[in-house]
Amino acid sequence: MCDTTRTSGYVLCLLAALLFPCLAAAHAFPERSVPRVGSALTAAPKAVRIWFDDALKAGPSRVTVMDSTGKTVSKGHGHVTGNNPHLLKVALESLSPGRYWVHWTAVARDDGDKTHGKFPFTVK
Amino acid sequence: MRSFLCDKLTFRVGVMLIWAGFIVPAPAFAHAVAGMRVFPATLSFDDPGVANEFAVNDGQLKAGGATTNTLSLAYSKTVTRRFGLSVASDYSRVRQSGAADRHGWDNLSVGAAYQLFVNGPHEAIGMLGVSDSLANTGSADIAGDHSTVSPEFAFGKGMGDLPWSLRYLHPVAVTGAVSEDIPRDSAQPRMLNGGLSLQYSIPYLQRFVKDVGLGAPFNKMTPIVEYTVAKCVDSDALCRSSGNRATTGFLNPGVIWAGKYFQAGIEAQIPANSASGDHVGVLAGVDVYLDDVLPHSLGAPLFR
Q: Check residue B304 and give its pLDDT.
A: 66
Q: Does B35 touch chain A (CB under 8 A)?
A: yes
Chain B, 88 to 107: residues with Cβ < 8 Å from chain A are none
Cβ neighbour number for residue B14 with a 10 Å cutoff? 19
Which distant-in-sequence residues (6+ apart) come within 8 Å of B234 by Cβ? B189, B190
Mean pLDDT of B14-37: 52
Say how far apart CA A115 and CA B150 lie, in whole Å.
33
Percentage of chain B lying above the pLDDT 70 cut: 89
Amino acid at A41: L
Q: Does A99 touch chain B (CB under 8 A)?
A: no
Mean pLDDT of B94-116: 94
Q: Check residue B90 and give its pLDDT.
A: 95
Contact (CB, 8 A) for A88 and A117:
no
| H or E stretch at B22 | helix B2-23
Q: Give φ, ψ of B255 to 5 degrees.
A: -145, 145
Q: Which of B147, B206, B291 sits opposite A26 (nearest CB)?
A: B291
Say how far apart CA B109 and CA B247 lie, in whole Å.
24
Partner-chain contact B38 A110, CB within 8 Å: no
Say how far apart CA B112 and CA B132 lie, in whole Å.
9
Say how far apart CA A52 and CA A33 lie, in whole Å.
9
Mean pLDDT of B172-193: 96
Adjacent-strand bridge partners of B176: B155, B196
CA separation (Å) from B222 to B31, B46, B163?
16, 17, 22
pLDDT tens column, B221-277: 999 999 999 999 999 999 999 888 899 999 999 999 999 889 999 999 999 998 898
| Distance, CA of B87 to chain centre | 12
Say how far apart CA B224 and CA B245 lie, in whole Å.
29
Q: What dihedral do alpha carbons B263, B83, A25, B160 form, nearest 10°?
A: -60
Contact (CB, 8 A) for B176 and B193:
no
Alpha carbon of B189: minimum distance to chain A alpha carbons (Å): 21
Adjacent-strand bridge partners of A101: A66, A120
Contact (CB, 8 A) for B267 and B224:
yes
How many Cα neighbours within 13 Å face the side chain of A116?
A: 13
Whether residue B47 has pLDDT greater than 50: yes
What is the pairing mode between strands A40-41 and A114-123? Answer: parallel
The arrangement of strands across the sheet holding A62-67 comes to: A40-41, A114-123, A98-107, A62-67
Q: Report the range of poorest mean pLDDT among A81-90, B32-41, B161-170, B292-301.
A: B292-301
Adjacent-strand bridge partners of B231: B192
Q: Check residue B292 and give its pLDDT.
A: 76
Q: Which of A9, A14, A53 sits opposite B77 (nearest CB)?
A: A14
If one compares B116 and B299, the residue with the highest pLDDT of the two is B116
Whether residue B50 has pLDDT greater than 70: yes
Chain B, 41 to 70: residues with Cβ < 8 Å from chain A are 52
Compute chain B's Rg from CA coordinates: 20
* DSSP reduced 3-state for A48: strand
Contact (CB, 8 A) for B255 and B286:
no
Contact (CB, 8 A) for B210 and B197:
no
Most B CBs within 10 A among A100, A114, A119, hence the mutation to make, goes to A119
Which distant-in-sequence residues (6+ apart) come within 8 Å of B213 by Cβ? none
Alpha carbon of A94: minimum distance to chain B alpha carbons (Å): 23
Beta strands in chain B (DSSP E): 32-34, 37-39, 53-63, 66-78, 83-96, 102-105, 109-119, 124-133, 148-158, 172-183, 191-200, 221-232, 248-258, 262-271, 281-289
How many Cα neighbours within 13 Å face the side chain of B278?
A: 5
Say how far apart CA B54 and CA A114 lie, in whole Å.
23
Q: Report the range of poorest mean pLDDT among A25-29, B105-109, B126-130.
A: A25-29
Say how far apart CA B179 and CA B193 lie, in whole Å.
5
Low-confidence ranges of chain A (pLDDT < 70): 1-26
